[in-house]
Structure 1
Amino acid sequence: MVRLSALVCVQSGDAHLSDSLRSLGFCDEVVVVADRCTGGPSEVARQAGARIVDGIFPLASHRKSAGVEACSGDWILEVEPGERVDRALAWEIRAALQMRPAGDWFELPIDNYVGETLVRGGWIGALGPDRGVRLYRRGVKSWAADGEAVLSGISAGRLTGALRRSAGADVAALVEQVGRLATAQAQRLADSDRPGALPVALARGAADFLRSYLGRQGWREGRLGFLLAVLTALHPLLAQIRAQEILEARRLAHAAEAIRPAPLRRVAGARAG
């Protein structure tokens, strides 16, 4: 039997973790990396019987690398907190691994839902990837400092079943999710002390809008596709501005600490007055 590990990286603001963990019962082990989590997510993972890696990870690459190191399986299935594996995909994954594939990694499609509506076009980046290398042999996937995945070996193909990802219960939840993603990205930028420049964020936002609306055919989704493109464009801008705010707050805190007067010490034997 090929041993399969599931890897889930979670932060304190992530929802749907319990649904994700329930869908991973077909795996031999589940490893949850809890980044700066207090209470909620860690307790959910503990109750589900997952192995927990607690810590503070400045970058997504640190988080995922720590998770891979904790996995003991021959293969790793990487799942985000808002994603679920249905029974058909679980069976397909197990069948593919038992056939001893010649390749080293599989690409999995990702179906993104807003509420109960499947939205196929317009998804890019952190807001909603529509595919990704999520099933791979242990040791063939790593991450660069900027979070980009680095693969070794050769592709084993693409599975037909898709991960089901919840992008939000409705449009309002989708907008809130963009804010959370931007805040998390801002924290990572501030921790690395590289918030970037505003013109660069604006240029990236414009490029992401075109990529979402035209390149990924968001226009096919009507008004929702246009909204996805706008939110995608706003993400780097919000992250850059928030990162600058975090760094400025830290500088002010350090400056206040530096000018704080030292506490007075009473000299032994000295007279009062």
Structure 2
Amino acid sequence: MTRLSALIVARNEEARLPDCLASVAFADEVVVVLDRSIDDSAAIAAVARAKVVEGAWELEGERRNAGLDACTGDWIIEVDADERVNEPLARAIRQTIATSPHAWHQVPVDNYVGDRLIRHGWAGSFGTTSVPRLSRKGAKRWRPQRVHPGLDWTGREGPKITEGALIHLVDRDISDMLRRLDKYSSAKAADLLATGEIGTLRANVRRFFSRGFKSYVSRKGYREGGWGVLLALCTGAFPLLSYLKAALEPERHR
């Protein structure tokens, strides 16, 4: 029988971890990677009979790769602590890994801000409606970056899963969304400084408008009313704010 590992990477997520663990109970193995956690996350994972890997990683890519290495299943589904695998997606994952000749598959995502499902407007690094989270063991490696690390693949991509969704509790409210923008742009500024190529003001101003347009028009954010405007602003602001932090305050982000 094809074995499935569920991988959860978290830091001080004792409040959200129980529901996340319950949603991946269909997997044959659950691995929880805890990065510098000082709350009760390890005890909660142990009660759920998960394999716990504890450590300290500066880069998100390295942390996620440690989790991939700890998994022993033939396939791996990666889930963050603020995400839940709903039952239709769980069934679709099982059906896919039983017959797929491919190396990896995109998984659909339903994004929530508070109790509101926002279907349109997600774009760029601020949010997405599908993620490449289901992969064969050894097919996927994350690159050494702090925020939204890139991916290197071995093997071919298969068809996107279309049943069910990964429920993503993105933000609690608008203030939480803006705090996330601040956090992500600081991490991205550190990545830019590490490469030595932060870009230019002109290029990032252009990206502000092009990414905002993509979110609001191409990704149909206008269908979400004011939420679509907010998403477009955050999507466009992310690269510009990251650049400005790297250019104007490099000492704070190295």
Matching residue of 1:218: 221
Whether the aligned pair in 2 keeps the contact of 1:15 and 1:82 (CA below 8 Å) is: no
* CA displacement at 1:184 relative to structure 2: 4.0
What residue number does 1:102 align with? 101
- Tell me the equivalent position of 2:25: 25
Correspondence for 1:151 among 153, 161, 177: 153
Task: Say how many residue pairs are matched.
Answer: 249
- Deviations 1:172-211 (Å, cap 9, x if unpaired)? 3322332333344445556x36472561544433332122
User: How big is each residue's C-alpha offset from its partner over 1:100-151, in whole Å with a ceiling of 9 and x where there is no partner?
Assistant: 2222222111111122222111112442211021111111112334521222
Q: How does 1:156-171 map to 2 (within 5 A)?
A: 156-159=158-161, 160-171=163-174
Identity of aligned residues (%): 36
Under a length normalisation based on structure 2, what TM-score does the superposition of the two structures give? 0.84
Q: Deviations over 1:145-164 (max 9, x none)?
A: 45212222223322222111
- 1:17 alignment partner AA: L
Secondary structure of the residue aligned to 1:238 is helix
User: Once the 2 structures are TM-superposed, how far is the Cα of residue 77 of structure 1 from its aligned partner?
Assistant: 0.2
Task: Show structure 2 runs of 5+ residues with no match.
Answer: none
Contact 2:208–2:239, Cα closer than 8 Å, also in 1:
yes
Q: 1:5 offset after TM fit, Å?
A: 0.7
Tell me the distance in 1 between the aligned counterparts of 2:70 and 2:55: 13
**Aligned AA (1:231):** C
Residue matched to 1:207: 210
Q: Which amino acid aligns with 1:217?
A: K
CA change 1:248–1:169 in 2 (3 A) is closer
RMSD, matched Cα: 2.8
**Alpha-carbon displacement from aligned partner over 1:241-272 (angstroms, at most 9, x marks no partner):** 45568752589xxxxxxxxxxxxxxxxxxxxx
C-alpha contact (below 8 Å) 1:143/1:149 kept by paired residues? yes
- Tell whether the 8 Å contact from 2:62 to 2:143 is kept in structure 1 after alignment: no
Q: Could you tell me which residue of structure 2 aligns to residue 61 of structure 1?
A: 61
Please give the alpha-carbon distance, in whole angstroms, between the structure 1 residues aligned to 2:12 and 2:247: 22
SS at structure 2 position matched to 1:64: helix
Tell me how far 1:73 sits from its aligned partner.
Answer: 0.5
Unaligned ranges ≥5, structure 1: 252-273
Contact 2:12 2:41 in 1 (8 A): yes
Report deviation, 1:4.
0.6
The code of the aligned residue for 2:21 comes to L
Contact 1:183 1:239 in 2 (8 A): yes
Amino acid at match of 2:112: Y
Give the corresponding residue for 2:83.
83
Q: What's 1:260 paired with?
A: none
Q: CA 1:113 to 1:66, structure 2 compared with 1: closer, same or farther past 3 Å?
A: same
SS, match of residue 164 in structure 1: strand
Paired amino acid for 1:206: F
* Contact 2:14/2:44 (8 A) holds in 1: no
